[in-house]
Amino acid sequence: MVIVERETVPQLTKPVKNKFLPSIIKWKGVNMVRQHSFLAAVNEIVMWAEEIDVTRIGIVGDMHSGKSTMAEAIAHAIHKKSKVGWAVRKLYEKDLMDFEATLKNFQPANYIMIFDDVSFLDAKHNKKSISQVKEAVTKIRHLEGGKDVKIILIYNYHYTMGLDKYLRQADFRFFTTVGSSERENMESIVGGKKMKLVDYFAKMRQQGITKKYFGIMMPDKKFFKYDWRKPWIPVLFYNNSSLRMLVSPTRPWLDPICSICSDADGKESEVNVTQFIEEYKKVYPQHYLNSIKQMLKEQGMNTYGKTYISSRRFLDKALEMKTFRPEDLALALGLEVKYRRLRKDPGDLPSLQEVNPLEKIDTT
């Protein structure tokens, strides 16, 4: 019997990356850690809400810690990503305490309801008032019109155990701060094994406030830095099973203009916007559109196209690199500085109802 030895061929395999190790990704051109994804948490909420009739989200944190801003970002991301159509409503103390009457003004629809700070309930109102709120919440799906709808409730409050036990029940919780007095409450919610992350988060937030940045050490021993509130803040996310840290942006950073979120307060423009534009166009046919675009840009809503943005960046870069002054550009082009401005006191301007659309407003 002849034994033939065969040459073994080495197997070429790609190294397997550990998906649990932090890695850097880009979101809208901004670097972030993939494991800190805000949208990943929102996806969990969206999948839950599409199956469950009433979804409760609690946002817990100190005053001015970003709860309201985050609630708006969550609501916006949900209605953008969900297959279900949602309307967004932001409600306040008076709306909650007369909740039955508030609901009567709602048309049947799927609602994301943001209750901006409900910490007042136990402190300022008696048990009877709280019971009325509870009863209204249990009936919230049966809005006027006889149509069952899906509801997402987002509660903002200061203290984990400060809200009534029934009202503080949540399918998902976000924590914008965890103080020393709150630590014991957190342990009862998330368990002792997860308290190292809670302590780490508290240090990270402290770093953000004092140094205006926060971040983590990456596997390559390099520090990854987030700029504080530009647009990120660190947040803890708990889904009743796991606790993790993420970074939350602002709603305008996600989308500067959103017709659904702009109606969140339930207020409408006092005048017919389409009619106003037509009148504005008649008075200033060559300038009305640029005036509106410039006004929106000054308020952080860029509507200019790519060509304009590239042109402006070219000009800004030239001004940084060259030694000429902006005044020299005006002189070379024969441009004259116009000392014209709107009246300082808006009260001096006539109301829109009083303005004749065929007459130009004096701007001298």
> φ and ψ at 132, to 5 degrees?
-65, -40
Tens of pLDDT, residue by residue over 9-64, are: 445 455 445 656 788 999 988 999 999 999 999 999 999 999 988 899 999 988 88
Classified as helix, coil or strand, 352 is: coil
Question: Is the residue at 105 inside a domain?
Answer: yes
Inter-residue contact 143 to 113 (CB < 8 Å):
no
The Cβ-side half-sphere exposure at 293, using a 13 Å CA radius, reads 11
**Same domain as 227, residue 330:** no
Confidence of residue 83 (pLDDT cuts 50, 70, 90): confident
Which uninterrupted H or E stretch holds 351? none
**Same domain as 198, residue 72:** yes
Question: Is the residue at 1 inside a domain?
Answer: no
**Same domain as 255, residue 275:** no
The answer to whether the predicted template modeling score (pTM) of the entire model surpasses 0.75 is: no
**Same domain as 313, residue 219:** no
Q: What is the CATH number of the domain that holds 190?
A: 3.40.50.300
Spatial separation of the C-alpha atoms in residues 62 and 42, rounded to whole Å? 22
Burial class (CB in 10 A: 0-12, 13-18, 19+), 298: exposed
**Same domain as 253, residue 129:** yes
Spatial separation of the C-alpha atoms in residues 39 and 46, rounded to whole Å? 10
pLDDT of residue 8: 47
**Same domain as 169, residue 102:** yes
Question: In sequence order, what are the beta bridge partners of 111?
Answer: 87, 151
Residue 37 CB coordination number (10 Å): 17
**Same domain as 219, residue 116:** yes
Spatial separation of the C-alpha atoms in residues 210 and 207, rounded to whole Å? 5
Tens of pLDDT, residue by residue over 261-310, are: 887 776 655 667 788 888 888 888 888 888 888 877 665 567 788 888 88
Question: Is the residue at 252 inside a domain?
Answer: yes
Which uninterrupted H or E stretch holds 225? strand 223-227
**Same domain as 282, residue 249:** no
Question: Is the residue at 364 inside a domain?
Answer: no
Higher pLDDT among residues 312 and 217, named by residue: 217
Spatial separation of the C-alpha atoms in residues 234 and 348, rounded to whole Å? 45
* Domain boundary pick from 230, 259, 288: 259
**Same domain as 278, residue 157:** no
**Same domain as 179, residue 107:** yes
**Same domain as 246, residue 167:** yes
Number of domains in the chain: 2
**Does residue 340 register a pLDDT over 80?**
no
Question: Is the residue at 14 inside a domain?
Answer: no
Amino acid at 140: I
DSSP class of residue 45 equals H
Please give the average per-residue pLDDT across 80-102, as a whole number.
82
Domain that holds residue 342: 270-348
